Chains A and B, each alone.
Chain A
Amino acid sequence: MEIRTDSTSLDIDRHEGNLIKELRSSSTKPVTEPSGWLSEDLKRNIFLTTVDNVLNWGRKSSLWTETAFTACCTFEFISLSSSRFDIARFGMEVLRSSPRHADLIITAGTLTWKMAPQIKRVYEQMAEPKWVIAMGACGITGGIFADSYSVVPGYNRILPIDVYIPGCPPRPEALLAGIELLRKKVEKRSFLQG
């Protein structure tokens, strides 16, 4: 790994601009969804052994969320984690700020191209296994900002998304339903998938 040593703010700005340009040109198409990555014969042979059951039960019951929230949808997430909707019932109230400890990114909010490299980097630095929930219209397609020059039209341009939750913003109930779906998805994993 090379250590960057650029010191002037101009250097830093230029580097960032290049990063964004690169990411933008390389992500014109949505990333394929994770299940699509399964090789064909693995797909036909998914066997849920006891090991898998135990692992998946553990993983689905303690999905720790990374605090990487970008815009207004976050407030619905905050509402979900406080008393009325209480995400802690599923063991999810542990918010970790470091991607090394987290299992799940809930992409709450509009993503601008300026922020995109950071989010992508956070995702890449998360420890396997990891999941992503795209929350809100902005998370799915860019929402009301879809035509804007500065907004990423949907997180699936840069991250593989597991569950989409529509709404602007989605109500906490919708988010809960999304989390339920994700838990179902986690249950169907096989550890052979890596």
Chain B
Amino acid sequence: MLSEFSLIALFILIVMGFATTLVLIPQALKKIGIVPSKPSEVKYEPYECGLETIGETWVQFKIRYYFYALLLITLDITVIFLYPWAVELKNLGSSSLGVIFSFIGILAVGYIYAWRKGALEWK
């Protein structure tokens, strides 16, 4: 088991190394002049359809999917419990059905409550 994860860990390193070289190739090419570089002040300003930007960009503003994120966290974590059950369902047999259905039922109450409260609207 562990050696499988060591394979994954090494693969992560390989892929990250690959992605890093990919991003760094132009820097190397710049040294020999193949990648052009003509810095100017205007070029390094943010592009906003040809207009100058007004005011700070990193300000606090309303994240509209706040409720979605909350819902996701609750549902996502609970839903992960479904997977062990799903794997073992054949062995557990019908007795496990009632348990898991009441589990989903409890989730559903919360879901319907969120729906009624309008948390699922994008506004």
Contacts and interface: CB of A to CB of B under 8 A. Distances in A.
Asked whether the complex places CB atoms of A and B closer than 8 A, the reply is yes
Interface of A: 1, 3-7, 12, 51, 55, 68, 98-100, 117-119, 121-122, 124-125, 128-129, 191-192, 194
B88 interface: no
Contact of B50 (A5, A118, A128, A191): A118
Contact of A4 (B36, B37, B55): B55
B32 to A, nearest CB: 9
A132 to B, nearest CB: 15
A36 B49 CA distance: 29
A100 B49 CA distance: 12
A122 B48 CA distance: 9
Interface stretch (B9-17, B38-46, B97-105): B38-46
Interface in B2-60: 33-34, 36-38, 40-45, 47, 49-56
Interface residues of B, number: 20
Contacts of B42: 121, 124-125
B45 A1 contact: yes
Chain B at the A interface: SS class:
loop
Contacts of B53: 3-4
A50 B45 CA distance: 35
A4 B54 contact: yes
B45 A125 contact: yes
Given A4-B54, A5-B54, A5-B55, A51 B47 contact: no
Contacts of A6: 54
Contacts of B34: 51, 55, 191
B111 to A, nearest CB: 38
Contacts of B54: 3-7, 12
B44 A1 contact: yes
12 contacts: A1-B44, A3-B55, A7-B54, A68-B50, A99-B47, A118-B50, A118-B51, A121-B52, A128-B36, A194-B33, A194-B36, A194-B37
Contacts of A128: 36-38
A191 B33 CA distance: 7
Contacts of B49: 118, 122
Contacts of B36: 128-129, 191, 194
A121 B44 CA distance: 11
Contacts of B43: 124-125
A54 to B, nearest CB: 10
B36 to A, nearest CB: 4
Nearest to B41: A1
A180 B56 CA distance: 44
A105 to B, nearest CB: 11
Nearest to B43: A125
B50 A119 contact: yes
A119 B40 CA distance: 16
B38 A98 contact: no
Nearest to A3: B56
Nearest to A191: B34
